[in-house]
Structures are given as C-alpha cells and as structure tokens.
Structure 1
Amino acid sequence: MSATAEQPPFRPRTVLLIVGVAVIAFAGFLLLIAFAPPFQGGHDARGHALSTSGNGYAGLVELTDAIGSHSLIVRDTDLLGSSALLIVTPEYDSDGAQLARLLAARAGHPTLIVLPKWLTRPMPDNREWSLKVNTIWPEGAIAALDKIAPKLAVDQTPFRKTVIPPQPAAIPRLARAAIGGQREQQRLVGMGFTPMLLDRDGRVVMGKLIGRPVYVLADPDLLNNQGLADPWTARQGWQVIDDLSTTNEIAFDLTMNGFAKQADKSPLRLIFQPPFLPVTLCIVLAALLAGLHGAVRFGAPIAAGRAIAMGKRTLVDNAAMLFRAARREHRVGAAYAALTRDLTAQATHAPARLSGEALDHYLDRAGRNAGDPPYATLAWRAEAAEDRDQLLGAARALYRWRRNRTR
C-alpha cells in the first residue's frame, strides 16, 4: 500500500476545529435552553401584558404610562404582595390551583381577573399578531376559577340565560352593550359574586367575589388591544381601572402566563448558577483534560503481540484446549499413569535394567508402608476412566502414590 493511501482523511487541525465548534455550539444550546425563558419578548399572539396582538394587553400598559400612572410588570412571585391593583389575565389552560396561590399571596389587596374570550393562533406572516379562530367555550373561559369561585359561570351570545333583575342605581352601567364594536359578548352568571358593572341590557360585565377584594371581568374586549382601539371603549375600560385602583401604580401579572422567574429555576439552569457553578466548571475541566489525554499520545505505542505464542507451555496449553473441546480428557489416563511411573522411578533411582512389571513391583515395594493400592490397579483405573470426574479421581490417586514414594 502506498504512503498516500495510508494518510488519514482529515488533518488533525481540521478535526480539532470540528470538535471545538461542536462543543461551543452544544454549550450555547444548553445555555439558551436554561436562560431563554426570562428573555422572551412575549410577542406570541397570546393574551397577556406583553402581547401586542388583538387579544393582548400591551396597549393597556402603554395607556397606563401615558395617563401618568406607573405600570409594574410582575414576573417574580415575591412581588405579588404589592398593594397596587394587580391585573391577572389567565388563559383557558391556566392552573386553578396556581391562581388560588396567587390570590393568597395578595393578602387582601385588590385584584382584577380578566377572563379569556378568544381562541386565537399566530398569523403565518407575522407571529406577533393573532388570528381569531373562535370564542372560547364557556367552561374554558372560567377554568382558572374552579378553585376560588366554583359556582361562577359565563354566558356568551346568543345568551341562553335570562337577564338578572334590575339592580340598584349605584351599580354603573355601560353606555352601550357592544364593547369595542364586537358582536360576540361574554357575561357573568351563576352565584358567588356581587355585580359591579352592567351593560345596558342588565347583564353583568364585572362582578366582585363575595368576601374578598377580587374582581372578575367577563369580557376582555373592554381592556385588550382590540377594545382599546375604539376610543369610547378605551374611556370606559380606563374608568374601570381607575375606580378599582387605590394607588398610582397598576401591576400586570405574568406569572399565570408562564413568565414567572421562579418557574425558570430548572435543574439545567441551576448547574450554571452558584453554588453549583464551581462543580460544573470542574466537570468541564475534567472533560477537557480527558479529551486532551485521548487526543494526544503519551509515550510509544504498545507493540502488538504474536497471535500464537511460542514455547513448550503454549503447545501443551493448545493440546489441552483441543482435548477439552473434543471432550476426550479421559483418554489421556494411560499416558498420565506411564508418566507418573517414569517420574517416580527417576526420583527413587530405580535400577535401569528394570522395566514393565518388574519396575512396577519395585516401586510398590518402595512404598510398602504407605498403604497405597498397587501401581497396576491405579494405572488400570486411569486407563479405564469414562469421564472427566473419574479421570480426576484416578489422577489424584496416582499423584498421592508418587508423593508417598518420593518424599
């Protein structure tokens, strides 16, 4: 084979470059998985305070700052206890137990829950905008309230429930029923709340849960971007916020929408933060050293040994392996008996003229006091062995016979 054909397909520098790029890319991928959620912009066409789509509430945040109030975006659950009015925008798949914990952390401060209404999906050409699919089914609109208000329900157009009886004049009424120019409407029905805002037909748009400062707005089109696009609706929506707020600060919750900071503390993120960061760096350094040890050879390579070793011992081992593979170990009994007799005669300095039965009788007399069977009997047992166990028994007897004559 020529020297050109033996060259490796890649140069060492190229291999190191490929491995280095792969390691850096994999490390960056892990960092993005661990730290991407806190840096999400929120422009995902969903219904929360960061969304600029029609069912989002980014317009309400801008309106709050433009009017002169201060908007607070709540990502940390430790800030839920703020005394400012907190606007919570759960979605149809929000966890009711999480909402119950959120209200428990509020410690009696006013909270406005804006129910979801629209089932949307991002537009293909602009992922920040939403495309209306349909209205959410009534059970999905109040799914997040199953723990705190199990008797509360919603009714959607065309309304199936009858209009509630006329309420006292102190309850404010909307100037018109069609909020934000939408024909689809959503109203509160059921029990467990006190009406706070009615439309001109007498149906409840917003109610207050009995026994706690928690307000539920049935129709989100009064406050979302789609509704605020209409000046009349924007004026009505801000009047509701202004009536409920006790401070100059309006807080917008994002923890119910999956943007909570504490929810991002995954095990993958923890390994890149103290106190686990030093351990992670030690593991990375150990991996780099192991890779360096495997990439660079220390010392000369070990020469390959022979496939079949040389020497008498190897020949004996190979012969034994052949006998074992053929299951013919018991056929060597006669040869072992003859070898035992020759070694014993040599060790006892038997006369050279003796052979055969004469040598056997001589060796038997040499160990008369040992009490062993005659050599001929032992040799016959070894020769007549039919399996490995019988051969081992005969071989032990011959060995004992030899030891008693040579010690």
Structure 2
Amino acid sequence: MADGANSGAFSKRGTFVLVLFAILAFVAFLYLVGQGGLSGNANNGRAHAASTGLNGFAGLTRLLEADGFPVIRSRNTAALDDPGLLVLTPPAEMDAEELTKIVDRRRTIGPTMIVAPKWLALPASQRGAKPGWVHLLGAPEEWTATIEGKELTFTRSMLDHRTAKWAGLGAQGSLPSDQAILTVGVDTAQGFLAPLVVDEQDRPLVAYLADDGSYLDGDLYLDPGRTDGQAVFGVMLVAEPDLLNNWGLADETRAMLALDLVRIARQGTEDPVRFDLTLNGLGAARNLLTLAFEPPFLAATLTLLIALAIALWRGFARFGPALRPAPAIAPGKSQLIANGAQVIARSRRLRLLREPYGNLIRARVARKLGLKDHDTDAIEAALAARDAPSLEHRLQTLRAARQRGDLLRAARSLRDLERTL
C-alpha cells in the first residue's frame, strides 16, 4: 500500500499539472504587475468605471456588457490613442490642458465621451457599508474645460429639494438628486454645442460638438480647415453624470437613455467601448513588464514561452531517474563470466567449451571424492560404490556432441552428476 501511494503522489501527469499551473500563475502574476492589477482596490469611491458607489460608473459598464457592447476598463495611458469610443471621467482637480490634449489627439482617432465631475464624495463609514459606498457631500460651483479652443463651463444650479426634469431623444424623466444639477454652456460661440438632453429651462445636460451636425446619423465630419483630409470624430459632453452613474441607472428610463447615448457616441464604430481609469490615478506606468506583453515585444515573449513549453515537455518525456548506459564490461566475477559467455555465444563457438568444461567437471568430482583428477579408474570405482552414474560415459557424450542442443544436454547431465555428490 505504501509503495502504491508514493508512486501515485508523484506521477508524471500529476507533476506536470502542478508545474504547468505554477508557470501559468507566474506569468499571470507578471502580467498583473505590469498592468497595475496589484496596485490596490480600484473600487475606491471615486467617479470612474471601476467604482460601485453612487457616483461611480461600474453599473454602466455592466449594462453595456449585458446589452452586447464590447467593454474595456483601461489602465494604460497608451490606450487613450486607441480607436473606438473612449469614455473619460476626469476628476475635478484634473489639469485642463491635459484633457484638451487628449481630446485634440482623438479627433482623428475615434469618438470621445466626456462625463463631467459633479459630486464631492467620501467613503461611507457607517456600520454595514459595503466597499465602494460613499457619502455625497455636494457639488462644486463649476468646472471648466477647453475644447477646440472654446472654454466650456459646467455650472452647478441648486435645486432646493426640487425634482429636476430632463428630456431628450424622445424620452423624458427626472434626476435622482434634488440637491443640484449640472449644465454646460459656451460663452464665446453660439452653435458650438448641439444639445441632446436638456433640463426644464432648455439648458444642455448632454451635448456634442456641433461640427456639421452629422453625428446623429453616424457620419464623420470632414473639416475644411484641416489640410490632411482626415475625417473628424465627434465629442459628446455629459454635463449631468447622474444620467449615467450608478445612482442614475437605478431608473429604467435613465438606463435606456444611457444606452442610446453610448450608441450615438460610438458613431457606428465596432471597436470596444473603452472606459479610461488612468485619469483617476489607476493607470499602470510603462515598464519592462508592460512592454513584454505589447507588440512588437509580445512576439519575443511568446517565443520564450513556446521554448519553455518544449523544454518542459522534453523534461517530462524522460521523467524519472536518468538512464545510465551500462559499461561494456561490468565489474564482478559473475559478470565477467556472463560477459565471456555472451562473447562465446555470439561467436557460435560452443564446441570449444567441450574439453575445458569436461576437465573442470572431472576436477570438481575428484575433489569431492577426495581423489586426483587424472585417476580415472579410482573415480569410476568411487562413483560405482555410491550407485552414481559413470562420469567417463557422460564425458564421452559431451565430446561426441556437435549440435548446440546436444552440448547443452550433455553439460547439464555432468552438472547434475556433480551436484549429487
């Protein structure tokens, strides 16, 4: 039982599975470290796509995934220049110039949705609060951003416990908060924004850069002022985040509005909807580990993994003690005799052993009888006195043998005679 248990504990298959799991876990660990997956809990109560608090947008990502949209929660700053809809949820303290540069670059890369910051929040501390829950402390008076050289002002209006209404895209409803509402406006250019959703006073809650007004049809805009001839993608501004955040999606009408806004913002592109987390401090800095999992270095990483897999397979193909080649002549008398016998057998010269073997048996029999080996008559008389068969007769049979079988039978009869004494 013990031998069976030990052999099963370290079988080839079990050991292979353990080693393979360890290698995959190590590669996954390196990938997570490189991508910033071990940099802490992303559900930190801030307004971004990984947050489950009232002000977060984790619900929007899950809603889009459930509706069939491909969704990516991006921690890589390089992904800001990837095609497809990019959803930015900048914090209130973000550098306005940085946001301007991101939007300017993306005009010819892919559509962009900017969700303005609204709530000041602290992690919930009451008993029974779940991770990510927050206390909403209020909204700042305004937030500004500069796009296409125009300064956009997102202004707070106090509601004084009134229910704020919204209307747009063939639907209407109310906002979840009765404290404040955010609207967007441009002071220096009329017609710069095209409203999609407005409040009761026709102030834009959601708007997009008007350009030539073709974005609702999924078209691209060819800016006559650009010399490169590239099409320009749209920019959607969501001034009131309560239409898209977890608090807002508690209402079915607002949830349907959120889906419609994302469809419009995508402009018919098939690339994933990418929610950026880097602006909220959840980005992963580029390092050797991140480069190892990105083109063109990804090819070298895959080659190394394939080489490792081949080495692993070769190692397990010979699993167990190493096979040592046997020496040409093994040590020991018995092995020496065996080696000599093999040489004679391969050379097919067994007949050469007839005379030496006969003399050897005669000497052994004489020694056991206490006689000299050359005294044939005395040996025969001693054997006859013991009722033993004649030695000389069997020696003559050995000398007369010509075939391999006859030689072996004659030699065996002489050995049997010796053992009877």
- Using the size of structure 2 for normalisation, the TM-score is 0.47
- Using the size of structure 1 for normalisation, the TM-score is 0.49
